[in-house]
Amino acid sequence: MSRPLIAVTTSQRSGWRIFPLVWFNLWLAGARAVRWGVGRPADLGAVDGLIIGGGDDVGPELYGGVLGVSATLDRARDDLERGLATEALEIGLPVLGICRGAQMMNVALGGTLDQDAWETFGEAEKIKTILPKRDVDVMYDTHLARICGPERMRVNALHTQAVEALGRGLRVAARDSWGMIQAVERVEDPFALGVQWHPEHLFYARRQRLLFKALVAAARAYGASRGQVDAVLKQR
């Protein structure tokens, strides 16, 4: 069976080192990857799935906020990814959001972000590392629980912002020990899941690899259904 093609959006600052990690995880899961970003071609009609990657803060003007603590903004990337997220979610393209990507997915559906989540959750231990040192509680009866299992998960953390008010059709899939939202997901199909951590750095952890496998399975199904539609149209 051919490998589905997954588009991966990246930061202009750090994409050169992050994309190879995401590519590796997708390859392990049975997919191919293509890097998208500001100044690069982007056509959702040419891919079977989308990963909105991490890095950079989401500009607060996208959700009615005011500029505060955010220091690493890329408005050209904001425009690109908000458009891609909105269209992908509308057409049913499978989406996995990673850190910023989870936030962008929420914003594209009308949600808001907490620009300084560590201040809001003042008792939370501020952990910023690619190592799995943060405990996350997976919500029962969620897609995330069915993909990775409902047991408590230990993940990494590199974010300053976090999901605040949920976007349309989303629910909380995981929170950390202090209650901060750590994963959101679309209630109904098609596949759309956003995680606040960085599973691409945790390729040695089976449960993190399962996130990419779930995306790839959804992308393969999406590609097959699109192929069937194209075949019918050609016969007309």
Q: pLDDT digit string (tens) for 13-26?
A: 887 899 999 999 99
Q: pLDDT digit string (tens) for 161-210?
A: 899 999 999 999 999 999 999 999 999 989 999 999 999 999 999 999 99
CB atoms within 10 A of CB 75: 12
User: Shortest CA distance to 45 belongs to which of 93, 94, 3?
Assistant: 93
Q: pLDDT digit string (tens) for 70-112?
A: 557 889 999 999 999 999 999 999 999 999 999 999 999 999 9
Residue tagged active-site, from 148, 164, 200, 201: 200
Segment 21-50 mean pLDDT: 96
Is residue 207 within 8 A of residue 148, CB to CB? The reply is: yes
Annotated catalytic residue 200: yes
User: What are the sequence ranges of the domains in the chain?
Assistant: 5-235
CATH annotation of 5-235: 3.40.50.880
Annotated catalytic residue 148: no
Residue tagged active-site, from 99, 159, 164, 201: 99
Residue-averaged pLDDT of the chain: 91
Q: pTM for the complete prediction?
A: 0.93
Segment 20-33 mean pLDDT: 98
**How far, in Å, are 31, 194, 234 from residue 184 at the CA level?**
23, 5, 38
Give dist(CA 34, CA 8) in Å, integer: 6
